[in-house]
Amino acid sequence: MKRVRVWIYLLAAGAALVSARAETAPTAGQVIERYIEAAGGRDALERLRSRVMRGQIEVTALGATGAFEIRSKAPDRQVSKIEFPVFGTLREGYDGTVAWAVVPLQGLRVKEKEELARVQRSTGFPRELSLGKAYRRLEVKGAVDVGGKPAWLLEGHPAEGKPDRLYFDRATGLLVREETTVKTLVGEMTFQVDLGDYRVVDGVQVPFSMRMPRPADVGFRIAIEEVHHNVPMEESEFAKPAR
């Protein structure tokens, strides 16, 4: 009889634990809404029409350091420039329709198919407000550890290709890691970007540190030095260059 009571207690405790977990696990929509609030709130984010970020980038595998600038404009325009003293200047952009890149020694190329889709998912500005609409489906995969801190893992399923993985710090609600799986000439590769050193600029949280530890052979670190909002920008800044 005593053994039966023990089993009953264990089953009851297990059921209670499962119930508690089910009650505390948020929906994907709740994680995104908390992210918006943690970043400064919907009203503050909606006041942003553009952003300029400047800093330094270090490509660890090459031992190269360069100047970095990225210009973003609502709803989805973006252009970036990296200047390396030794290798030259790398430029990438998206004008709302065409995504392009100009690479030293290779010249201009236009991004298509899955590569274009990845650009379209990542260029919405402000990112916090566009993230929930960037995927066909978002789902919570559970609680995980990121750098020794608990986080919620969301998978974002695009119309085509592997899902992106988004990690949100459970304490702050902020996005702290992204993982994207990409098809390359040597097979699929997963790119991981860690976001940190969040600081308040014009009432919104901005990550001043971006680090890509893997793949190790293309890893980089970005240290943001200045951020400016609502800077006037012309549409021509984002257009594909002539060559």
d(CA 131, CA 45): 13
CA angle 57, 183, 126 (to 5 degrees): 50
Residue 3 lies in a domain: no
d(CA 242, CA 108): 9
pTM: 0.88
- Pair of tokens at residue 240: 């594909």
Residue 4 lies in a domain: no
Residue 73 lies in a domain: yes
Residue 9 lies in a domain: no
Domain of 226, CATH number, reads 2.50.20.10
- Per-residue pLDDT of the chain in tens (243 residues, 90 and over written 9): 444 343 434 334 444 434 434 448 899 999 999 999 999 999 999 999 999 999 999 998 888 999 999 999 999 999 999 999 988 999 999 999 999 999 998 899 999 999 999 999 999 999 999 999 999 999 999 999 999 999 999 999 998 889 999 999 999 999 999 999 988 878 889 999 999 999 999 999 999 999 999 887 778 999 999 999 999 999 999 999 987
Residue bearing tokens 């002539």:
242
For the chain, the domain total comes to 1
Reduced to 3 states (helix: H, G, I; strand: E, B; else coil), residue 204 is strand
* Full residue range of the structural domain in which residue 225 is found: 26-238
Residue 5 lies in a domain: no
Residue 143 lies in a domain: yes
d(CA 203, CA 128): 14
Residue 14 lies in a domain: no
